[in-house]
């Protein structure tokens, strides 16, 4: 049979079209769900600008240790005991925590006291500005959050943070630490090698209506108070209205949200 | 056709040679393993969604879950049947599928995929 070039191309075109539709019919036949629905826990705490007020006088050394211990236990923070330490919440001297606000003949009590330090969850966080993958970002409630899934370990955020609140996992915590120690909280993950981690203001606890671990640990003395700065009736606003408080390195313009009553 | 025998043998050898990786794979890997359900998962009868959907799309769902939970702060998943689940691999999925080696690893090893979930997420303790 003789066939013209024209009719051959026609048939070719129609067959390609047919084959194409076959493929899409096949796709349509697959199991499909409607738009997935995700919700927030109605018990979760909501705010616009979370803040902590640390009353240094009420927070003695024992309470400080209690707060640190509670945080590290809940978040499975390893304790390497060397210079590769992982810091979520830690202590340092006044002169190191508040450089520029120290002076000679500082009250001995203040000079020697270990100050409880953690991520300031700045309103203007420099770590967020430099993160190339948005692994760290600012949530609507002000928490400077970390998505460990997305961190590529470039450590720009560590260079940007003026408070030393971020730590890099030089070694794999699972093989170098957690194989010897039981992770204290089996409901919370650990971290992998090559990611940066820091305090997340207990976002996972706020989501189910619980207070941050450090606040909870010293709740009897009310030495650390947690609340929403944008809410004029909140406890933190009340305290700040009555007492004078200082913040770490405010001159850098990051607007830290952890206040210290000295 | 000239040299019929040679040409056809040549073609056969050529086809066998180029499909050899697939053929060897077929023989070596054997039939795909069946994921085993833990007693708890068996009792529940259904996963968060239908079995067929989970088989095909669990990885997309887990990816969505981690983004919704961590980035959007939405930690409750409303399934198609209206049931609500906490969005958590470690606490929800693995609570039922506590037999990771028989439920996850078998197939992942067979298919040579290496999901890095367990570099951070703590796997359930299995009674061996």
| Alpha-carbon span A170 to A246, nearest angstrom | 33
Confirm whether B85 is domain-assigned.
yes
As for how many domains chain B has, the answer is 2
Confirm whether A16 is domain-assigned.
no
Same domain, B54 and B113: yes
Confirm whether B127 is domain-assigned.
no
Confirm whether A86 is domain-assigned.
yes
Same domain, B59 and B115: yes
Confirm whether A58 is domain-assigned.
yes
A218 DSSP assignment:
T
Same domain, B54 and B102: yes
List CB contacts (< 8 A) between B84 and chain A. 39
Identify the segments of chain A with pLDDT beneath 70.
Answer: 1, 22-32
Same domain, B52 and B114: yes
Confirm whether A80 is domain-assigned.
yes
Closest CA to A203 of A129, A121, A130: A121
Chain A residue closest in CA terms to B74: A40
**Given B50, B57, B122, which is nearest A189 (Cβ)?**
B122
Same domain, B4 and B49: no
Mutate to test the interface with A, among B52, B69, B75, B116 (most CBs of A within 10 A): B75
DSSP β-bridge partners for residue A260:
A54, A246
ipTM over 0.95: no
Same domain, B44 and B94: yes
pLDDT, residue B122, reads 94
Calculate how close chain B gets to A132, using CA atoms only, in Å: 16
pLDDT, residue A26, reads 59
Same domain, B26 and B54: no
Calculate how close chain B gets to A77, using CA atoms only, in Å: 12
Pairs of residues, one from chain A and one from chain B, whose beta carbons lie less than 8 Å apart: 68
When computed from its CA atoms, the radius of gyration of chain A, rounded to whole angstroms, is 26
In CATH, what number is assigned to the domain containing residue A162?
A: 3.30.70.20
B89-118 pLDDT, tens digit per residue, is 999 999 999 999 999 999 999 988 999 999
Confirm whether A189 is domain-assigned.
yes
In the three-class reduction of DSSP (H, G, I as helix; E, B as strand; rest coil), residue B123 is classed as: coil
Same domain, B19 and B69: no
A69-99 pLDDT, tens digit per residue, is 999 999 999 999 898 999 999 999 999 999 9
The residue range of the domain holding B58 is 39-119
Same domain, B53 and B104: yes
pLDDT, residue B32, reads 86
| DSSP string over A23-80 | HHHHHHHS----S-EEE--TTS---SSEEEEEETTT--HHHHHHHHHHHHHHTT----
The residue range of the domain holding A122 is 50-261
Confirm whether B98 is domain-assigned.
yes
As for how many domains chain A has, the answer is 1
Cα A165 to chain centroid distance, Å, stands at 10
B64-79 pLDDT, tens digit per residue, is 999 999 999 999 999 9
In the three-class reduction of DSSP (H, G, I as helix; E, B as strand; rest coil), residue A250 is classed as: helix
List CB contacts (< 8 A) between B93 and chain A. none
| Alpha-carbon span B124 to A230, nearest angstrom | 41
pLDDT, residue A3, reads 77
Same domain, B23 and B49: no
A138 DSSP assignment:
E
Same domain, B62 and B111: yes
Query: Which residues fall within 8 angstroms of residue A74, CB to CB, at 6 or more apart?
Result: A184, A185, A188, A202, A205, A213
Q: Do B76 and A187 touch (CB under 8 A)?
A: no
Confirm whether A25 is domain-assigned.
no
Same domain, B48 and B81: yes
């Amino acid at each position: 049979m003789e066939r013209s070039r024209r009719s051959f191309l026609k048939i070719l075109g129609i067959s390609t079209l047919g084959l194409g539709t076959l493929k899409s019919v096949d796709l349509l036949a697959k199991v499909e769900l409607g738009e997935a629905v995700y919700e927030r826990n109605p018990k979760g705490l909501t705010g616009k600008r979370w803040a902590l007020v640390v009353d240094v006088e009420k927070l003695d050394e024992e309470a400080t240790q209690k707060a640190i211990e509670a945080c590290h236990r809940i978040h499975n923070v390893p304790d390497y005991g060397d210079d590769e330490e992982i810091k979520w919440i830690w202590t340092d001297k006044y002169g190191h925590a508040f450089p520029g606000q120290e002076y000679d003949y500082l009250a001995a009590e203040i000079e020697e006291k270990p100050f409880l330090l953690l991520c300031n969850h700045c309103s203007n966080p420099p770590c967020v500005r430099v993160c190339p993958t948005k692994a760290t970002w600012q949530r609507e409630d002000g928490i400077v959050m970390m998505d460990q899934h997305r961190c590529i370990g470039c450590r720009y955020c560590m260079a940007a943070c003026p408070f030393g609140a971020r730590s890099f996992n030089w070694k794999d915590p699972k093989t170098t630490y957690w194989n010897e120690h039981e992770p204290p909280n089996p409901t919370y993950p650990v971290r992998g090698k090559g990611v940066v981690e820091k305090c997340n203001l207990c976002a996972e606890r706020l989501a189910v209506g619980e207070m941050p671990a450090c606040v909870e640990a010293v709740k009897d003395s009310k030495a650390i108070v947690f609340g929403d700065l944008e809410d004029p009736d909140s406890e933190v606003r009340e305290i700040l209205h009555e007492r004078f408080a200082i913040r770490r390195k405010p001159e850098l313009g990051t607007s830290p949200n952890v206040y210290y009553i000295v | 056709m000239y040299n019929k025998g040679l040409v056809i043998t040549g073609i056969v050898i050529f086809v066998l040679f180029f499909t050899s990786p697939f053929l060897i794979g077929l023989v070596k890997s054997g039939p795909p393993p069946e994921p085993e359900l833990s007693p708890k998962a068996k009792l529940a009868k259904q996963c968060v969604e239908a079995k067929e959907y989970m088989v095909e799309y669990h990885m997309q769902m887990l990816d969505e879950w981690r983004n919704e939970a961590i980035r959007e702060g939405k930690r409750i998943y409303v399934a198609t049947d209206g049931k609500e689940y906490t969005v958590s691999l470690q606490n929800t999925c693995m609570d039922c599928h506590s037999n990771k080696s028989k439920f996850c690893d078998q197939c992942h090893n067979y298919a040579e995929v290496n999901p890095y979930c367990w570099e951070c997420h703590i796997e359930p303790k299995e009674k061996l």
